Structure 1
């Protein structure tokens, strides 16, 4: 499909999610039906090559899809965005045979990929079990999509060598126990609870590769700017959803303040100015998000020719998006109450879910560190060393 087709597919999925977004947020259920909706729109296969059953899309397409879904439902946008990064490890880390095997299976069934990679948790342990396989043990506090996805990328430490290994664990494998304990302020349907692995068999064909030592090439390290770009697009999409929802309420329900000379809230100059400033900043953030998407597409297409300097420039562009989108998201999803009025705080309206979602997720990693990266690059021309956050 073309870029336009992917955008339309994502918008159609978002329209369906929007119908009962508030009710599903309150129910806090496992997002199995929502995952199936994404499959029906063939969004999980967007980045996969056409020859393996995928859509042949680009990272720019994928990030726009995440943004469109986020307008309606931030939780499901997170699931989709994380999926794209998790699945992309097949390109960035795995060898050719491993990559094709998993891509074909993924494309045929439009698999959703979860992850148990959170680097601030203690490492999972991978104990060599002969013939190139492992036994996996340990617990991760946060594991987005493991409980609702079809397969998951899992990072663990080889007990014999100390190396960090990426492996694939299929949903329902013996010894995999999702905690069902995600009960946070926002992103309630992101399936981000804990998971425990107890003597999970990981055959050699499920080993993707390494993310340390010589394996940490510029292309393999795209995992970090890619996930940070997902964050930025997700935040920008939530802002648009909040503004659209608030605008409808202002037009249909809000009342002009008693000291206002305007016949309606929608004509009050202060209301108009507040919306105007927020919309102007949103458009700027969307433009920055598009630039980051095109840059990530180009970096991915460069393949093994990608240099560390080029990767660093991409990372700084994405860091700028993270700073701008985080600040805008937290501010805008609060400011919408100023242009809707006191009655808009009713639980029946549910306008708070936009703020709850971005307030929860923008704490994923401190945005001040991203601001420092941008400032250091501007003043000193530096690029941060590769980590799973930089």
Structure 2
């Protein structure tokens, strides 16, 4: 008889694996960033370590709880923000079966994903206000054996090397928005890699082009609400969960920049040496405090998100809105801290590759304007309306 491994032992083992992977990635991070090639070798390292299978939703003896998953993402991100983002988007997308499919479909999909070491990526649009809905970029046309997918969609990570690309598309016959998974190697799928990115160069971003791609019924996870008002509370967690996972990428980048600069100061290779320089102590104190403050906010949001994911269908709209508000707050605070820390450390040392942290943080945080989030947070705080948070992550 096989003895079940205690969950705390699994957590410790997974975090040790994450540290080993991070150490491995850190050894050639600068060279890989400069090359800017798609992460074929990096994804092979992740699979060899078993991380794609481990970073799936928890279920009876396998998978990883939300708190531990985010800790793994942050650990890897400190060494390589690009690969941290790969893991963050992978982990968030592996929850999609629970957000959109039936319980049995989700269980079967997670089992198959873990068994096959699938690496996930994708770009699922959150529900938008009805008046903001424009023409779809992806269309599904029914046929006797399923659907045909047509269109193109930008994808932020491993668009050429993932095992599954998750997208939403509008059914031309019914108007329903369906969430589907597509293997990148399927017939009719073409990939246009993004070249010359400012940062996150090794994330494998690009555009997926779907030219009459056959979609079998088993590849359809379920319906995505067309607008924010009709989203079920638990389904509404899909985008905040992704954004929170990316917060941990930003935190990891900030911590990696601060730690690398501290090592340069200690080794005497910085502009200003530690010695007895009170201004240097003040500067490091400011940056360490900024990192710890952002960590505290993100950890609080992570705990609340974990509780909401555990609640499942019992979650109500007000609770989901409170989670979204806290995630939006964490995203605002961590984005500001990551940009500030990664820019400021450049004043301390002129070391090759140190600028990659700022470039990575800049690309990661540039997708969502802070003012939009802050208005939604303020409206939720003032009026207590769950609708105030529904469009925060568009």
Q: TM-score, normalised by structure 1?
A: 0.90
Confirm or deny: 8 A CA contact 2:376 2:392 kept in the other structure: no
Is structure 2 residue 104 aligned with structure 1 residue 97? yes
Match of residue 22, structure 2, among 6, 14, 23: 14
Is structure 2 residue 326 aligned with structure 1 residue 317? yes
Q: Residues 118, 191 of structure 1: CA spacing in aligned structure 2 closer, same or farther, 3 A cutoff?
A: farther
SS in 2 for 1:162: coil
Match of residue 28, structure 1, among 26, 36, 39: 36
Alpha-carbon separation, structure 2, partners of 1:269 and 1:176: 58
Residue 47 of structure 2 is matched in structure 1 by 39
Q: Which runs of 5+ in 2 are unaligned?
A: 1-6, 127-133
Confirm or deny: 8 A CA contact 1:124 1:140 kept in the other structure: yes
Kindly provide the CA deviation profile for residues 161-194 of structure 1, in whole angstroms up to 9, marking residues without a partner as x.
Answer: 2221101111310011110234310001111111
Q: Which runs of 5+ in 1 are unaligned?
A: 258-263
Range 318-327 or range 114-123, more displaced: 114-123
CA RMSD, Structure 1 to Structure 2 (Å): 2.1
Confirm or deny: 8 A CA contact 1:75 1:189 kept in the other structure: yes
Aligned length: 375
Is structure 2 residue 206 aligned with structure 1 residue 199? no
SS in 1 for 2:173: coil
Confirm or deny: 8 A CA contact 1:223 1:388 kept in the other structure: no
Question: Structure 1 residue 265: deviation in Å?
Answer: 3.9
Is structure 2 residue 256 aligned with structure 1 residue 248? no
Question: Structure 1 residue 385: deviation in Å?
Answer: 4.9
Alpha-carbon separation, structure 1, partners of 2:97 and 2:236: 13
Question: Structure 1 residue 386: deviation in Å?
Answer: 2.8
Residue 358 of structure 1 is matched in structure 2 by 361
Question: Structure 1 residue 49: deviation in Å?
Answer: 3.9
Residue 234 of structure 1 is matched in structure 2 by 249
Confirm or deny: 8 A CA contact 2:254 2:357 kept in the other structure: yes
Match of residue 152, structure 2, among 133, 139, 155: 139
Q: TM-score, normalised by structure 2?
A: 0.90
Is structure 2 residue 316 aligned with structure 1 residue 302? no
SS in 2 for 1:56: coil
Range 3-12 or range 299-308, more displaced: 3-12
Q: What is the 5 A alignment of 1:1-390?
A: 1-2=7-8, 3-44=11-52, 45-51=54-60, 55-117=62-124, 122-131=136-145, 133-212=146-225, 216-254=231-269, 264-340=273-349, 344=350, 349-383=352-386, 384-387=388-391, 389=393
Alpha-carbon separation, structure 2, partners of 1:307 and 1:256: 54
Q: Residues 256, 76 of structure 1: CA spacing in aligned structure 2 closer, same or farther, 3 A cutoff?
A: closer
